[in-house]
Amino acid sequence: MATSSKGGSSTGENAPPLVHRKQLKSVREYCLVKSDGYFFVSDIAFSIQLPTPHLVRSRAIAAGHTVLKSHHPDPVRFPELGVFVKWGPHVTIAEAECLHFFWQTYSETRVPVPKVYGWYEDKGEIFLYMQLRYGPTLQDLWPKMEVSDRKRVCRLLHMMVTNWRNIERSTHNKELIGARKGQIGGQGLRDVMFCKAGSCPAGPFPDIKTFHDWFACFLDPTRQEDLTLRTKVPKLQHLTDAQTLTFTHNDLCQSNIIMGFDFKRESYHIVSIVGWSSHGWYPRDWEALKTLKIIPGPDDWKFSVCNFLEPPDKPYEEAWAPIANVCMGVDKRKTTLLRPRARSVAYCSPDGSSFI
């Protein structure tokens, strides 16, 4: 059995990685001592001190964060420990499992993510403990970057996206995650569109047809139980089940890309990709459509997307966009495209390259 450099395994020499349940653990399994407001967590590979949920909440309040009434409290940083805590009722173990899998399977250059030290549940809230990564986000740097720097970043992103899109789901082994189409631990999908539409988590789904039938129902809120809607609305027939299911980050915005600068080489590099809460196996074009049409970003960033993501299939886009529009609440009476393209303007040139 071939093994990756960080412990992930696959079924062949060049086969894509598969996700094993045995890789996924909780802080609760590691906890040795709890005193003075800290956990002391130890593993073969590391030993680290982590703040308890009470200490996390206390620091959040001291920093002026809105805690009691917030469903999405701000993360809390502990620079003295090198620890970043993402917490709240919206945080899921699935995100921790995803980060843990990437850390175990890929090198820092192939898919850089923060190391996960573990997670803990307290009073209905999940506390996700991870490595604190330093650096500005791509959102901070993008306006100041030269065209050559932007192209380099897009090349790096293309390599990283290609790596995670090669992750394989298992369809036969119950010990492997992803036999049903959901998140990495077999949980339901948490796309922001589904959450806004009041259907989160969604699934997991047994196959892409079931997913597309369910997704199409959002087009007409009065017929949300009509799983045959795709056969009755001509344009929805382009929501084709021929799309392959592909592992997807699903929130690839500039603020989720932490950057660094190599002074010796005088070039930017990607320190970490974060924000994996809505990851999962989605149709092939989902990542590009979400990045182009749903996730906020400047126009010159949108023009650059085709440098690291394959342009979506046009008929699929025309079927997908009106449904996404309804889910996001842009126009519940009239299903128009979220960002209609003028005929003289496109995100990508005909050969698939961007305009930067």
Tell me what pLDDT residue 36 has. Answer: 54
Query: SS3 of 104, please?
Result: helix
pLDDT value at residue 17: 53
What amino acid is encoded at 157 in this protein? L
Q: Angle at Cα 212 formed by Cα 209 and Cα 217, nearest 5°? A: 130
In this predicted structure, what is the pLDDT of residue 41?
Answer: 56
Averaged pLDDT, groups of 10, the chain, 356 residues long: 38 49 48 48 60 90 75 88 91 87 83 87 88 94 95 96 83 42 86 88 89 90 75 88 92 95 88 95 95 91 92 94 88 38 31 34
Contact 339, 293 (CB under 8 A): yes
Give the model's pLDDT for residue 351: 37
Q: Give the pair of three-digit tokens for residue 216.
A: 């199409």
Q: Which residues of 74-97 are buried (b: 16+ CB within 10 A; e: fewer)?
A: ebbebeebbbbbbbbebbbbbbbb
Give the pLDDT confidence score for residue 35 in this predicted structure: 47
Instruction: Report how far residue 197's alpha carbon sits from residue 139's, in angstroms, rounded to the nearest whole number.
Output: 28
Which pLDDT score is estimated for 14? Answer: 53
| Residues paired with residue 246 on neighbouring β-strands, in sequence order | 282
Instruction: Give the burial class of 164: count Cβ atoms within 10 A of its Cβ; 0-12 exposed, 13-18 middle, 19 or more buried.
Output: buried
Could you tell me where the DSSP H helices lie in the chain? 27-30, 53-62, 93-105, 138-141, 147-165, 192-196, 208-216, 229-232, 286-289, 299-304, 314-327
What's the one-letter identity of residue 302?
K
- 178: Cα separation from own chain's centroid: 15
Phi, psi dihedral angles at 348 (to 5 degrees):
-130, 150
